[in-house]
Structure formats: C-alpha cells, structure tokens
C-alpha cells in the first residue's frame, strides 16, 4: 500500500476544507491578508497535490485594503453539490480586543478553476462559516457565534440557519445547536450526514498547542447534539514529542471506494515552539466504530507523520520549476500580493518583457498599498535568489529581497541611495514592531544591476549579493540573522499566517520609482 507523507500542503496552508467531485479532490485553505484569496489544491489520489489556483481573484470579491495583520480571509469552506462548487468565507476587518468584525460571503462556480461568481453576503455574527447540503435538497449554514460581552464565553457556540439558493440569502430562524465541550474555544464547524445521524465536527482548544478536533451528533439537524464520549478525536496537546503539533480544525471526505480521510491543520516548530512556516495541512485515515463514532485509524487520537494511502491509482504531478523568468504576461499562481491585487498602477510584466517591474509604494508597515510580490516559504532549508536593476535617487527609495511575516516582523536585504552616490546595500529588520538596521553602515555599490540571495537554514538566514550577471561570485552581507520571530507565536497576540519570501519596492516620497526584477529562484535544499 502506498503511503502519504505529512504535511501534504507545506508552508502557510491552514484551516483546510476538503471536498470530492467525482474522482477529483480539492482542498481550500485560508489566505488571510494575502491576495488572491483562498488557495485551491487538487489531487486524484490524496497523496500528490498541486496548486490549482485561487477563488477570490477580483477586488469586487475581496477588498482587503486597510485590513489588519492576520485579518482578511479566515477558514473558507469548499463544497460540491449537483454540478456546482460552493465556497463560503469570512473577511475579517478587526480581531483585536473585545470586538470582531467578521463578514461572511458565498461564491459559486461550475468549474473549480473559475470563473467564480460575485459574492453573496450571508451574515457577520461570527467566523468560520460552513455550508451543508442535505439529501432533501435544503442547504444550511453553520458558523461560530462571537459574544463580546464581559464575563461571557466569547466562543458562544455554533449557530445554524437555512440558506435559500433561490433567494440568495439566509432564511428562517437562527438556532444555536452546540455550545462546545470543556475544551472551549469552539469554532471551525462542519456538518456531515451518515446513517441517519448529523455529525458536527468542530475545532476546539484554540489554534495553538492545545488545538483539537471534536465531534458531536444528532438525529435532527437542529439538535440536540450529543458530544462524542471519547473527544477529542484528534489532538497533539500534551505530546511535545510529536512531529505534527497544533492538530485540529479538521474536515472529512469519503473516497469513491468508501474510505474516509480527515484533513487538518498542523504546525511544525523550527526551534522551541516557533512555527516559521506557519500552520500547514496534514491528512489522517479514519474509521467508523460499530456504534457510529469516527476514529483515527489505528486507535490513536494523535496525528501521524505517515498515513496509509487510499485504494486509488497513483497520480503524481510534474515538479514545479524553481526559476521564474517573468516571461508570461501574468504572475504564476504561486505569487501573492499584500491586500491588493496586482494591477498596472504598480506592477507590470509587459512594460519590459522578461522583467517584473514594481513601482515603489508605501512602507513595509502599511496596511494599504505595499508593492510586494512574494511566495510561501515551504521548507525549513531553502534559498531565494533574484536579480534587479534599480537606480535609487533618495534614501526613501528602496527595493530588494524580503522575508516577510507581517507589518511587525520582516527581514529585508534592500538597496537604497547611498549618501555619497551610487547604491547602498543593507539589512533592515523589524522584530515585534521594533525597527533596526543590522549593518553598521551600508555596503556601497556601483552600477545598477545586482543579484541578491537569501539562504534559510531553519531558524536563521544569511544574505549574499553579487554584481553583474549570473554565475559571478557571491559576497556575504553580515552574519546569520535569527528569523524565529517570523512565526505565529507573537508575544503580544496570536497571529495566523507564515513566512513569505519575495521582492518589493518602496518610494516613500510618492514618486513611484520603479525596480526591475529579472528572475526569481526558490530552491528547497532540505
């Protein structure tokens, strides 16, 4: 029997929602403030996966300008019914403090690769919406309910309301169907139906090291729901020895051969408890007991690194190229932008064919208009390399190679104008919001064409530069830089994304000075 190696979606790919359409499997994952919204991965065997694209590709579907760090798209739910794909998602506008502004929407498509419809507004009562298609043709939305009041359980349970496809809105009463278990922090609900029972799968314990998946069931969709006496059915809590931590926020699928699998969120600490790759997606094989409860195969509740594959023909995909020469008129699906779509006002692949042109915009602290193009870091050891042509005329003009978590945490090998003429190369770091320059003085460079490289080795990065064309020598820039602060575990508040590597340009004077990037290489070395 073939084996699945976890995680199946490495790097920042949290809150997985899986569905099957015929012989094809699709997983939707959260993208938070990164655009386009909602990644879709595709498989035919649950072993091999490829990035199929994104759902929310237009500003009319997702307007995140000004969204806070770790806001934006939370926990999408992907489902398939009668030839149509449905995706519900939350656009989180605020999340710090007592209140959370969480707006829930629905989009549809007949092809997973789109085009996807304009969004239908659903509600704003909480986050993690999920759509269930009952066998009588009715559709139901569940989401967690947020209670901001003092002294209350903020995660106030799971609410249910019917969705009318004809009226394109929620209809009928809102019913609270489940208030959670003693693990609390009840969220991430999904409904399933089997042998006359409605099963409610939820995430509990919080999305950090106490995370878990729990199950409840009822003969009626409106409850009452009976919690599984052996909850949680999946968790890593209390097992620091496990390779996969933070296990929870799960979703189920039945194969065409009658086998059951659960995809779930997980994290892999790079050092101590720091998860620089963000929260990832793993999969576990499941079985049903004689009395109708779901269990992980093998009688455990802990996530396994290696899992038996289903009885399906192997279907590997070709390896993704390491190098992007920017020869196409649009970005590959592996590239992402912050909060705003790539548009000609700040990004072009055609003005200078074979180059990515970025016009400098706002600073790395901006929640609005950053000129940044990046991809996920998906391995603990990897290299990123680019070559840019840039002629800054002022210290407020910068461009270069960046490792970016959010506006508070990044490490940036940047070129800027040197006070004595030419370019100055240095390392900027923001750690928990505190700005620093890691070299005593910038390295003075002449010319306008420069190669930049970052070599990541688990918890550190080393930067290098070269002048002129590819193949020349590399010169180190400073020493190893700690990057464990590029992680979910912020000392002030929980956050939810992961480390990206990419290219950016800033012009804080507002003249939109451009930088041209000739190529980008992302190479995994572990």
- The pLDDT value recorded for residue 1 is 64
- Triad 184, 189, 191: Cα angle to 5°: 135
Q: Which of 15, 128, 204, 518 is catalytic?
A: 15
Q: Rounded to whole angstroms, how far apart are CA atoms 275 and 486?
A: 8
The Cβ-side half-sphere exposure at 318, using a 13 Å CA radius, reads 3
In angstroms, what CA-CA distances link 361 with 68, 324, 349, 465?
Answer: 18, 23, 17, 24
- The pLDDT value recorded for residue 467 is 87
- All CATH 2.115.10.20 domain ranges in the chain, comma separated: 11-227
Radius of gyration of the chain (CA): 23
Based on the residue annotation, tell me whether 147 is a catalytic residue of this protein: no
Tokens 């409860």: give the residue. 293
Q: Nearest CA to 331 among 373, 379, 386, 287?
A: 373
In angstroms, what CA-CA distances link 403 with 49, 372, 489?
Answer: 25, 11, 17
Exposed, middle or buried by CB within 10 Å (0-12, 13-18, 19+), for 508? middle
Q: What is the DSSP letter of 270?
A: S
Token digits of residue 99: 């209140």
- The pLDDT value recorded for residue 469 is 74
Q: Nearest CA to 33 among 338, 409, 403, 335?
A: 338
pTM of the model: 0.98
- 187 within 8 A of 142, measured Cβ to Cβ: no
- Spatial CB neighbours of 58, under 8 Å, sequence gap ≥ 6: 341
Bridge partner residues of 323 (DSSP): 521
Token digits of residue 255: 């194969």
Category of 22 on φ-ψ map: left (φ > 0), alpha (ψ -120 to 50) or beta:
left
Q: Nearest CA to 391 among 447, 442, 466?
A: 447
In angstroms, what CA-CA distances link 42 with 143, 258, 277, 439?
Answer: 25, 19, 21, 44
Q: Rounded to whole angstroms, how far apart are CA atoms 6 and 118?
A: 35
Tokens 């009318």: give the residue. 164
Q: Rounded to whole angstroms, how far apart are CA atoms 237 and 142?
A: 26
Based on the residue annotation, tell me whether 15 is a catalytic residue of this protein: yes
Q: Are strands 500-507 and 397-406 parallel, antiparallel or unpaired?
A: antiparallel
Q: Which of 69, 91, 128, 187 is catalytic?
A: 187
Q: What is the DSSP letter of 473?
A: -
SS3 of 320-332: the string is CCCEECCCCCCCC
- Give the right CATH number for 11-227 from 2.115.10.20, 2.40.10.10, 3.40.50.300, 3.30.70.260: 2.115.10.20
SS3 of 48-95: the string is CCEEEEEEECCCCCCCCCCCCCCCEEEEEEEEEECCEEEEEEEEEEEC
Bridge partner residues of 156 (DSSP): none
Q: What is the DSSP letter of 228?
A: P
User: Could you list the pLDDT tens digit for every one of the 526 residues in the chain?
Assistant: 699 999 999 999 999 999 999 999 999 999 999 999 999 999 999 999 999 999 999 999 999 999 999 999 999 999 999 999 999 999 999 999 999 999 999 999 999 999 999 999 999 999 999 999 999 999 999 999 999 999 999 999 999 999 999 999 999 999 999 999 999 999 999 999 999 999 999 999 999 999 999 999 999 999 999 999 999 999 999 999 999 999 999 999 999 999 999 999 999 999 889 999 999 999 999 999 999 999 999 999 999 999 999 999 999 999 999 999 999 999 999 999 999 999 999 999 999 999 999 999 999 999 999 999 999 999 999 999 999 999 999 999 999 999 999 999 999 999 999 988 889 999 999 999 999 999 999 999 988 999 999 999 999 999 999 987 777 899 999 999 999 999 999 888 889 999 999 999 999 999 999 999 999 999 999 8
Q: Rounded to whole angstroms, how far apart are CA atoms 506 and 513?
A: 8
CATH of domain 323-524: 2.60.120.200
Tokens 């990897």: give the residue. 382
Furthest C-alpha separation in the chain: 78
Q: Where are the alpha helices (DSSP H) in 345-391?
A: none
Token digits of residue 54: 């994104």
In angstroms, what CA-CA distances link 316 with 45, 108, 112, 253, 264?
Answer: 8, 28, 19, 20, 22
Does residue 455 sit in helix, strand or coil? strand
């Amino acid at each position: 029997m073939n084996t699945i190696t976890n995680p199946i979606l490495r790097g920042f790919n949290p809150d997985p929602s899986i569905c099957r359409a015929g012989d094809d499997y699709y997983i939707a994952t959260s993208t938070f403030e990164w655009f386009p919204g909602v990644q879709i991965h595709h498989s035919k065997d649950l072993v091999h996966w490829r990035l199929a694209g994104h759902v929310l590709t237009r500003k009319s579907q997702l307007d995140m300008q000004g969204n806070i760090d770790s806001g934006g798209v939370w926990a999408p739910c992907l489902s398939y019914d009668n030839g149509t794909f449905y995706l519900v998602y939350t656009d989180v506008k605020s999340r710090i403090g007592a209140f959370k502004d969480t707006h829930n929407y629905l989009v549809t498509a007949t092809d997973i690769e789109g085009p996807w419809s304009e969004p239908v507004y659903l509600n704003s009562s909480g986050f993690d919406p999920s759509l269930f298609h009952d066998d009588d043709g009715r559709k139901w939305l569940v989401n967690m309910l947020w209670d901001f009041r003092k002294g209350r359980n903020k995660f106030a349970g799971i609410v249910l309301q019917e969705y009318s496809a004809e009226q394109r809105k929620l209809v009928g009463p809102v019913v609270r169907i489940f208030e959670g278990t003693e693990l609390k922090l009840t969220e991430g609900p999904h409904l399933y139906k089997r042998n006359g029972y409605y099963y409610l799968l939820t995430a509990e314990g919080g999305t950090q090291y106490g995370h878990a998946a729990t199950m409840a069931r009822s003969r009626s969709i409106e409850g009452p729901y009976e919690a599984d006496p052996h909850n949680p059915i999946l968790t890593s809590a209390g097992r620091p020895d496990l390779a996969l931590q933070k296990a929870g926020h799960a979703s189920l699928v039945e194969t065409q051969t009658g086998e059951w699998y659960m995809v779930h969120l997980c994290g892999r600490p790079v050092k101590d408890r720091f998860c620089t790759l963000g929260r990832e997606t793993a999969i576990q094989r499941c079985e049903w007991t004689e009395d109708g409860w779901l269990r992980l195969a093998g009688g455990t509740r802990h996530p396994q690194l290696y899992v038996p594959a289903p009885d399906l023909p192997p279907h590997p995909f070709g390896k993704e190229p390491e190098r992007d020469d920017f020869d196409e008129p649009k970005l590959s699906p592996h590239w992402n932008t912050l909060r705003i779509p790539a548009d000609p006002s700040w990004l072009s692949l055609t003005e200078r064919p074979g180059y990515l042109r970025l016009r400098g915009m706002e600073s790395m602290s901006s929640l609005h208009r950053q000129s940044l193009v990046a991809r996920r870091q998906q391995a603990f050891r990897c290299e990123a390399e680019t070559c840019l042509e840039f002629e800054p005329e002022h210290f407020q003009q910068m461009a270069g190679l960046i490792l970016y978590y959010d506006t508070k945490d990044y490490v940036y090998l940047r070129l800027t104008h040197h006070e004595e003429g030419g370019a100055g190369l240095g390392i900027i770091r923001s750690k928990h919001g505190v700005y620093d320059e890691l070299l005593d003085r910038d390295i003075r460079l002449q010319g306008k064409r420069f190669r930049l490289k970052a070599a990541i080795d688990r918890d550190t990065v080393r930067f290098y530069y070269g002048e002129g064309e590819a193949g020349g020598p590399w010169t180190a820039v400073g020493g190893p830089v700690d990057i464990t602060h590029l992680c979910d575990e912020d000392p002030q508040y929980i956050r939810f994304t992961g480390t990206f590597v990419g290219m950016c340009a800033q012009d804080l004077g507002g003249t939109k000075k451009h930088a041209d990037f000739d190529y980008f290489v992302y190479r995994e070395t572990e």
